[in-house]
Chains A and B, each alone.
Chain A
Amino acid sequence: MQVTMTVNGEEVTREIEGRLLLVHFLRDHLQLTGTHWGCDTSNCGTCVVRLDGEPVKSCTVLAAMAGGHEVRTVEGLEQNGELDPVQRGFIECHGLQCGFCTPGMMMTARALLDSDPDPSDEEIREAISGQICRCTGYATIVRSIRWAAAEEAGTRTTAPDTEAPAAEQPAGEEPVATTTGSAS
């Protein structure tokens, strides 16, 4: 069968099998490999894309079902060479490690901020609760999304640093640990 949909603003038409999953349509037919898959049971959320604006698990949507609809993937986040604040937030706040869950997390984050520009930490955690990250422990993902919210609201002051930079460390502490030779 033939399917036509809009992906990241561009209309695409392909000949497909009725059973083709949207995630495979994006990855194998359109070479948009930023959308990943990680399970067979709609639990992991690495495949999240936006369908008519709403985050959905593209492993559980048939490509045919998306026919006539609008799909946005991680590849569509960057606009005119400018990273989306969500993408910048993930970089700034170490919201990713292996990067595998990241596209799905960012798509959900973008949708959340589109509907609620100032979510609480709890609302952020709830929004991403259908998506598993095995690396970060989520706290830095929450910070990343909060960073993006603050950036968009123009209220961001400094990066939510996790640790005082070396220059800010108080001087004159008593050594509690022996120091061995480093550089020099």
Chain B
Amino acid sequence: MQVPAPFEYQRVSTVTEAVTLLDRLGDTARLVAGGHSLIPMMKLRLTNFEYLIDINELHDELGYIRSEPGPDGAPGRIRIGAMTRHRELLESDELAAAFPIFRDAERVIADPVVRNRGTLGGSLCQSDPSEDLSAVCTTLDASCVIQGLDGQRVVSMDEFHQGPYETAVGDAEILTEVRFPVRPRGSSAYEKVERRAGDWAVVSAGAGVWLDESGLVEDARVGLAAVGPNTAGIPGIADALRGQRPTEELYARAGDIAAESCSPVTDRRGSAEYKRHLARELTVRVLRRAVARATGQEV
């Protein structure tokens, strides 16, 4: 059986402790949360570190889903702690009410046992191009709170993702929270095509749609997974949809834009052409469902 190469195990129980230790150990150390991406890679000896810092005790501090109203009762934002586990994201009714995309996505991320351990922060920091929560966060225009010794900084998803398996989190930093703006008259949806339950996506798509008071599209964002870099929410789709009444024709146009703006490659999960087709098909489906939800026609 594959086993990791030797390393020194450390455990921290506060964010400050984690950051201090990271600062001391530099790039010889790596944080481990749920570990379900990192530990298999270490077992297969694709990666190793001198120190592995277990941050699971930070769940008390960073395992939360908090809704914050905006000024004067306006919609505000939802803050999710980086150590919030997949299962908690799946089961949160509060989160599902604001962003149904989370429940859609969490139902198809890995499997229920893995979801008991894996975390939001771990998923984002792993930054796998096929990873679903990154697409969800892109769709919802999330921002990431990164804590270092000298304080916090907040970055957009675009800034956070620097490439496959690379993020903006520095050697002595830790992702502590992800923030999601709540906007009125909006909803969201997610759909994934996988070869088998628990597999990585062939293609996934998430959509967020916000309508104005007359029912026209005010804003729309689409996040895709497994079809190349995609962290800006496909601005072309927002441009094409803004001010329009949502119709099947409009979704089809958005689907075309999604298909054009992605860069899939042929691999064991599917041909590039099929993936491009899926980017189109799934974009149409999630936009349709997000609008149906936003207008109360579907839950």
Contact = CB atoms under 8 A, between A and B. Distances in A.
A136 interface: no
Interface residues of B, number: 30
Interface in A31-86: 37, 40-43, 45, 48, 54-57, 59-62, 64-65, 67
Contacts of A59: 1, 43
- Size class of the A contact interface (CB-based, 8 Å): 20 to 34
A65 to B, nearest CB: 5
A131 interface: yes
Contact of A56 (B1, B7, B11, B116): B116
Nearest to A130: B111
Contacts of B40: 40-42, 60
Interface stretch (A15-23, A147-155, A162-170): A15-23
A18 B52 contact: yes
A108 to B, nearest CB: 7
A40 B56 contact: no
A67 B9 CA distance: 12
Contact of A129 (B6, B32, B198): B198
Contact of A55 (B9, B113, B198): B113
Contact of B35 (A24, A61, A127): A61
Contacts of B6: 17-19
Contact of B116 (A55, A64, A67): A55
Contacts of A21: 3-4, 43
Nearest to B10: A18
A64 B7 contact: no
A40 B44 CA distance: 7
B52 A131 contact: no
A1 interface: yes
Given A19-B3, A19-B6, A42 B11 contact: no
B272 interface: no
Contact of B113 (A17, A19, A108): A108
A10 interface: no
Nearest to B52: A18
A126 interface: yes
A19 B44 contact: no
Nearest to A132: B198
B5 interface: yes
Contacts of A24: 1, 3
Contacts of B198: 43, 129-130
A164 B247 CA distance: 55
B90 to A, nearest CB: 11
B117 interface: yes
A64 B54 CA distance: 9
Contacts of A56: 113, 116-117
Interface string B188-200: 0000000001100
B8 A18 contact: yes
A67 B4 CA distance: 18
Given A55-B116, A108-B113, 6 more contacts: A19-B6, A40-B44, A57-B36, A60-B40, A60-B114, A64-B9
Interface of B: 1-9, 11, 32, 35-36, 39-40, 43-44, 52, 54, 56, 87, 110-114, 116-117, 197-198
In the A-B complex, the 6 residue pairs with the smallest Cβ-Cβ separation, listed nearest first, are: A130-B111, A18-B9, A40-B2, A130-B113, A54-B116, A64-B9
9 contacts: A42-B114, A43-B198, A57-B114, A60-B40, A62-B52, A64-B54, A65-B56, A108-B113, A129-B197
Interface of A: 1, 17-19, 21, 24, 37, 40-43, 45, 48, 54-57, 59-62, 64-65, 67, 108, 126-127, 129-131
